[in-house]
Each structure stands twice: as C-alpha cells, then as structure tokens.
Amino acid sequence: MIANMSFLPYPLSEYTVRVVGGGLALLGAVAGVLGTFAVVRRQSLQGDAVSHAALPGVALAFLFGGRSPLALVFGGAVAGWVAMRLVTGIVRRSRIPFDTALAGALAVFFGAGITLMTYLQKLATRRPANPLEEWMKPAADASVGHGLERYLFGQAAFLNTADLWAIVGLGGGAVLVVMLFWKEFKLISFDPDFAASVGYPVRLLDAVLTTLIVVSVVIGLQSVGVVLMSALLVAPATAARQWTNRLGVMAAVSAAFGAVAGFTGEVVSHIASSPGRTVPTGPTVVLGATLIVVVSLLFGSKRGLVWQRLQYRHSKPSDTP
C-alpha cells in the first residue's frame, strides 16, 4: 500500500484516512450484499442478534490466547453461528416464533459477553482468588491494554493493514460464495417450499447463508461495534430496495450504498474532528447510511414516497371532459 500520496486532496492524502476509509468501504459493501438476503427474507433483526451474540465468542477467544484480529473474528463468528443455529432449532421444534427466539438468544449471549468482559476487567485490578482466576489472570491483564471493550462500541481509528486484509479475505470469501450459490440462495429466500420440492438441500443452504451473514457481521465489530453493526447490515439493503425490484440489482446497489456510507463516514469524521474533540467514526458511518435510507424512502424510483405520489397523480383520471 502506497504511504505517500500527497498529490491527493485533503483528507485523502492522509494515510490513516485511506486505510480506515478503505476498510470501512469494503465492510459496507460486504454487509450490503449479505444484508440484501436478510431484508428480502424479512429477517432484518438477524444481524442485530448475531452482532450481540458474537460478543462472548470474542471474549472467550481472547481468554484462550487469541490476540490477532483473525482469531477474535473467528471466536465471534463461532458464537454468532451457534446462537443462530440455536434459534433455528428452537423455532423448528417448538411453537416459539422466530422473533421471540431471536430476542431470547440476543439477550442471553449478549449478557454472557458483557459478564465475561466485565469479569476480566475487574480481575485485572486484583489478585486471583483461586486456580481458575490464576489461569485467567494473564488474559485479564492483557485485556486492559488491548482495548477489548472497543468490540462493544467500535473504534475504527484502530483499524490497520492487518484488519484490512482480514476484511478483504473473509468478506471477499463470503461474497464469492454468494456469487457461486446465487440461484440457490435466491430460491430459498423467496420460495423455500418449492426449493425443497425440487430437491434442494434447504436446511444446508439456509445454514450456509446464515454463516455468511455471521461472517459479514463479525468482521465489522472492531470498527463499528456490536451496537451499530446491525444498522450497517440492514440500512444499505433497505435503501436499495426502494430503487429496484430485482434481487441482483438490489445487491449491487446495496453494496454501493454500504461502500459510500463507510468511506464518507470516515472522511466526515476525520474532517469534523479536531484537537480536543473527536467525532467517532462508527456512529458517523451509520448516520451516513441512515441518510441514504431517508433519501431512498423519499425518492426511490420503485417504492419512494415522492415517486409513488407522482405516479398516483399521473394515473388519476382527470375530472375535466
């Protein structure tokens, strides 16, 4: 990566802006593609549940020695995947509806993650009281300097080239799988009963799609955080839905919206920040995505309120002879 690009206008000439902005743009594009399936399947809260459920996985990965971004992402992905498979099993084997099971998993996993992270932080300030705490003590001490809590609220300023390559590798792999199984994912999203009748392994495909959504969520936890990552997954796809009725076009537009929100969020945050005043990048990215949603809801060429109003006026028969 070229470090000196002084010919670019400010703030693009700043190396940090290019790294963080590029990482957030990639993250937004990946979240936009996978979020398309969450929106069309009417499972938008899935991203919220996955992001919160990933927290204990991140903490456990750190506890067992994981310090690299890839190890922490892997721990979060495992926890998020377990939570979603647990939700699926509950819905299939009981009368509990999907949203109720999702809310229960979110609360339990998120509570476990907060408890474990708080316990590690408190253990770092005192002496261990038993053999288990003695084993946990090194991880607790390391958590203070590592900034493990930024996975809760996000801190995009700490993104580096290693994080960028993790986003490229995992996010790019997730998008590649979507492209390879596009027809199958499209069919199970709109008509799973027909897909099962023609011999498609619906449960397996659903598990794979869920795994990809989990990956798209957990790679953004460090930059956007648990609390806001679900918005980045849903907002671009919701905005894209107002402009088209075709799934392929919707996924492409959603990826573009997510990339624009990610990059411009970093640029605006950098420009608005000054000595003694820091404008956080994660919330700025989400606010940018929200602005895109508002504009799309008003002016979208397929479902926008203004567009529908204009169509209604043109189709209304005239009262004059």
Round to whole Å and give the CA distance between 163 and 154.
13
pLDDT at residue 307 tops 60: yes
Reply yes or no: is the peptide bond before residue 192 cis, omega within 30 of 0: no
Strand pairing partners for 277?
Answer: 274
pLDDT at residue 312 tops 80: no
pLDDT at residue 2 tops 50: no
Q: What is the pLDDT of residue 1?
A: 45
Q: What is the pLDDT of residue 249?
A: 93
Q: How long a stretch of residues is the chain?
A: 321
Which three-class secondary structure state does DSSP give residue 313?
helix
Strand pairing partners for 274?
Answer: 277
Round to whole Å and give the CA distance between 230 and 209.
16
Single-letter amino acid, residue 163: D
**Which alpha helices (H) appear in the chain, and where do they start and end?**
15-40, 45-63, 69-93, 98-123, 131-146, 150-153, 161-180, 182-190, 192-197, 202-218, 226-241, 247-272, 281-299, 305-315
- The burial class, CB within 10 Å (0-12 / 13-18 / 19+), for 2 is exposed
Q: What is the pLDDT of residue 320?
A: 46
| Per-position b or e across 276-308, b if 16+ CB within 10 A of its CB | eeeebbbbbbbbbbeebbeebbeebeeebeebe
C-alpha atoms less than 13 angstroms from C-alpha of 209 in its C-beta half-sphere: 28
pLDDT at residue 302 tops 90: no
Domains of the chain in start order, with CATH, are 15-315 (1.10.3470.10)
pLDDT at residue 251 tops 90: yes
Q: What region, left, alpha or beta, does residue 199 occupy, with left being phi > 0 and alpha being psi -120 to 50 degrees? A: left
Q: What are phi and psi of 301, to 5 degrees?
A: -75, -10
pLDDT at residue 58 tops 80: yes
12, 136, 211 from 118: Cα distances, Å: 38, 13, 28
Contact criterion met (CB below 8 Å) for 163 and 3: no
